[in-house]
Amino acid sequence: QVQLVESGGGLVQAGGSLRLSCAASGRTFSDYTMGWFRRAPGKEREFVTAISWIAGTTYYADSVKGRFTISRDNAKNTLYLQMNSLKPEDTAVYYCAACLRCRRFVDYTATDFGSWGQGTQVTVSS
């Protein structure tokens, strides 16, 4: 299992930006497809974006496409989520997740990911 720790959450005004980080330890980071999920108050957890362990292929939920960018630095064992043009509806706890040698490259679900971080709160004020 890989251990994941998110950071970078906070309070930001609508239209602003935040960058989340997820530090991984315990296993070979480059063997994992990495993803971000979020859970808004009163709602179910939803997929945000993922970056594959092969070729760094990225995939985004329609709700964040063009505003969020996922990236990874395998040398630093770190995953990033750059969030721009934030909206109040982006308010949620954001979770980092890992899928070992994932065979899926689109349409990810939470059940694809076996390791999860504790989450970091992102609040966007209007």
pLDDT tens track for 102-121: 999 999 999 999 999 999 99
State residue 70's pLDDT score: 98
d(CA 42, CA 66) in angstroms, rounded, equals 26
Per-residue model confidence (pLDDT) at position 12: 98
Q: List, for residues 64-102, the tens digit of each pLDDT value.
A: 999 999 999 999 999 999 999 999 999 999 999 999 999
CB atoms within 10 A of CB 95: 23
How far does the chain reach from its first CA to its final CA, in angstroms? 39
Give the model confidence (pLDDT) of 1-55 as tens digits: 899 999 999 999 999 999 999 999 988 999 999 999 999 999 999 999 999 999 8
Count of Cβ atoms closer than 10 Å to residue 31 Cβ: 15
List Cα–Cα distances, 32 to 65, 97, 98, 106, 125, in angstroms.
Answer: 22, 9, 6, 15, 34
